[in-house]
Structure 1
């Protein structure tokens, strides 16, 4: 009989660290000196750092053509993201092992669902890393001219990917330190604009509520499609639950606090830029935060300051996503669903997974610069919006499964009703992410998923052969 919230009997039991035994507080048994270094502050920084990457520095200009109605889209997306964060927190209470959505999907629906969650999430992470590194080069170019030659820019993008990878190779304690420092540093200029901009706020700069001229509902949906990718990362603490101290308590708190904090920065930052920069100028801006600082204090030093802040932000984001890119394959490899090499750990970090991820992201980066086509790479970025929703939907479905069949929730009717409403909102949010990705991105993403089905078939055949020979 399959007990809700546990691994089904047909699946191999997760392997524990042979050097130590698991405790009640640490079901992963991973208590090495270089592991389990993430307390609540660092786990929260991981969530906020992964949600707030470089996109925040371009968002106000991206949604400006739709007018202030885009703030409504921000609000709706924030509600959905926090609902998803609450779902991850509930699921982490049941199973606080490393892997996040993979662990939840496999525990509820078996190996194939778990593999799809792990595979889709893995694709999301390394493609996002490549996109983030290429985008970071644009900010680096403000400080040091590197875009003059294609290979110079490519080398800069590769360097920005490998530096965080080296921090991961050094151990999870160093990953946490880099993440905490980079998150604190990047919030200085962001808060300067988000809070300081309110004192320079001019309502005449806002422009029309619905500047697109179409229906308000259509404008909300269109602007939301541009903002969807900005909220990816709410699952960060859940994916790294095995490295979080007291995960049953801290994963949920870090996820909600980190998501709410990121949303507050998004909303205040966008509102301040809207009120500081004239709407007609903002629509054409390529550096809206720089323009806002220049408008507030005069001069042209804002471009340098924001470019530096963007680089710090993206480096921290790459640092966190590099760790997450290896954690899900690590959990899947322990269960025999990914190649065994992905289960190798050193100093609390799945080093093989980090190496494979950074190599794939590097190859994709080189391809982007060699092809000279931004459209191909842009499509791959949109694909990540779709692939990320696969583990989101599977995790939400796992929560629905527990609510419908679990006995513990039925004891408390109020909690059951509250969790049911939150889960319904999270499910709707995940479906909206799929719609926002667009038809072409969904088509490309499905091809990536089907490639994973072939990999799963090979891994399943090998497992079956081992069972027959044992």
Structure 2
């Protein structure tokens, strides 16, 4: 393997794939739903209560984060125009900095995906317990429910990209009905007296914004979703950027309006202690106690949709790396438009982690692993934004109007700063342990690189023997 990489070309579809009724490329609407569905998982249902202790200044933190997320989305859109291939951050890092950087991006993203899938499944069980109380009475039932929540989206993926897109569209629509009910309808019941103080802590404005942002920082993970699946998007050079921007902007609107409405519907002292803020908001709007069931249903649908999208993404990155010899060749296996081995291995690892979570009996193990993913998720972001800066400074962006060049440079700088903020918000422990995960990847890269080198030397020896004969 060489230390410098050329941009990988998208491989041709396997024979017959064009006629496979189960494989279908995503259009702009489905790609947008993929981005929105992956950004908005289940966290939205707890966010208002999580930031309420800081006061309404947390809305300012939301605004700052939204600006950073949109800058990152615009950078991914520009990179997708340049390299419209499956793999997203892996493709960009490898094209700019070589095989090792590409591998680190792929490895980090893969860890993030399958650990996060396990986390989403475990969180979904809590909401399932509201709908079916018997599930929460036994650990075995909870574990089985979490495994079921993981494997249903995996089966949808294995059925083909046609079904992935259909599930993603339906899940996105269903989960946004109650969210929009609160985000938009709640404004008609808005009571400014419920907002509470602008700053509820003794910190200064900058400190309060930073503290609130530390909780909200990871609300926008998933902006790269369309870029990672660029090979499955029709006209990716045009649609990936649009889907990324539309999906991020849509998620931001739901976040901001939803949080603002809940702040105005639920009194501040109750909101700080609330375990289901959207339930309390719906009850305040219409009275009664049916809001809990509605929000639980919405949360389960939201998480199933997020698992559906993240399962696809978790298979796409190792697939792209396997094509270039940086992951085991088996990850390149593809049927019905889906990297099937990547899906199976990912859901198997997530299932193993889920079983461990319910059987280890050690509190906090799962939470620590999830915290690590908040760091590993930022590694591909940093490498991608650095790749964009490299392309701009090296002149590899081609002949570009000076105004656009300056604008792209500013956006890349903002996105890089936003990614660094994500790293800082992960905390020292997460960064330390996340680096250990990366070092394990270095060992895997060494093994794959040595194997590739042996294969190259063997080919040269065989060619030399043929020439001598």
Give TM-score, length-normalised by structure 1: 0.94
Q: Say if 2:72 is the partner of 1:84.
A: yes
Q: 2:136 aligns with which of 121, 134, 147?
A: 147
**For the residues of structure 1 that align with 2:234 and 2:75, how far apart are their CA atoms?**
19
Can you list the C-alpha shifts for 1:129-156, whole angstroms capped at 9, x where unaligned?
Answer: 0000000011101000111111111110
Q: 1:16 aligns with which of 5, 8, 12?
A: 12
Equivalent runs, 1:105-116 vs 2, <5 Å:
105-116=93-104
**For the residues of structure 1 that align with 2:19 and 2:405, how far apart are their CA atoms?**
34
**For the residues of structure 1 that align with 2:19 and 2:410, how far apart are their CA atoms?**
37
Shift in Å at residue 431 of structure 1? Answer: 0.1
Shift in Å at residue 18 of structure 1? Answer: 4.8
Q: 2:212 aligns with which of 206, 223, 229?
A: 223
**For the residues of structure 2 that align with 1:325 and 1:434, how far apart are their CA atoms?**
21
| 8 Å contact from structure 1 (residues 36, 245) kept in 2 | no
**For the residues of structure 2 that align with 1:388 and 1:259, how far apart are their CA atoms?**
17
What residue is the counterpart of 1:174 in the other structure? 163
Can you list the C-alpha shifts for 1:195-249, whole angstroms capped at 9, x where unaligned?
Answer: 0111111111111111122122111111111111211000000000000000000
Equivalent runs, 1:32-431 vs 2, <5 Å:
33-145=21-133, 146-409=135-398, 411-431=400-420
**For the residues of structure 2 that align with 1:31 and 1:431, how far apart are their CA atoms?**
45
Shift in Å at residue 374 of structure 1? Answer: 4.4
Shift in Å at residue 17 of structure 1? Answer: 3.4
Q: Which piece of structure 1 moves more, 141-150 or 319-328?
A: 141-150
| 8 Å contact from structure 1 (residues 241, 247) kept in 2 | yes
**For the residues of structure 2 that align with 1:291 and 1:12, how far apart are their CA atoms?**
51
What residue is the counterpart of 1:23 in the other structure? none
Shift in Å at residue 369 of structure 1? Answer: 1.1
**For the residues of structure 1 that align with 2:19 and 2:26, how far apart are their CA atoms?**
12
| 8 Å contact from structure 1 (residues 14, 335) kept in 2 | no
**For the residues of structure 2 that align with 1:341 and 1:407, how far apart are their CA atoms?**
33
| 8 Å contact from structure 2 (residues 22, 159) kept in 1 | no
Equivalent runs, 1:428-439 vs 2, <5 Å:
428-439=417-428
Shift in Å at residue 35 of structure 1? Answer: 3.2
**For the residues of structure 2 that align with 1:70 and 1:129, how far apart are their CA atoms?**
28
Instruction: State the SS of the aligned residue for 2:184.
Output: helix
What residue is the counterpart of 1:24 in the other structure? none
| 8 Å contact from structure 1 (residues 409, 416) kept in 2 | no
What's the RMSD between the two structures over aligned residues?
Answer: 1.6
| 8 Å contact from structure 2 (residues 391, 397) kept in 1 | no
**For the residues of structure 2 that align with 1:451 and 1:84, how far apart are their CA atoms?**
28
- Structure 1 unaligned segments of length 5 or more: list them: 21-28
Shift in Å at residue 19 of structure 1? Answer: 2.6
**For the residues of structure 1 that align with 2:415 and 2:252, how far apart are their CA atoms?**
16
Q: Which runs of 4+ in 1 moved over 4 A?
A: 11-15, 29-33, 407-410
**For the residues of structure 2 that align with 1:427 and 1:33, how far apart are their CA atoms?**
41
Instruction: State the SS of the aligned residue for 1:76.
Output: helix
Shift in Å at residue 409 of structure 1? Answer: 5.0
**For the residues of structure 2 that align with 1:260 and 1:13, how far apart are their CA atoms?**
30
Instruction: State the SS of the aligned residue for 1:147.
Output: helix
Instruction: State the SS of the aligned residue for 1:96.
Output: coil
**For the residues of structure 2 that align with 1:244 and 1:411, how far apart are their CA atoms?**
25
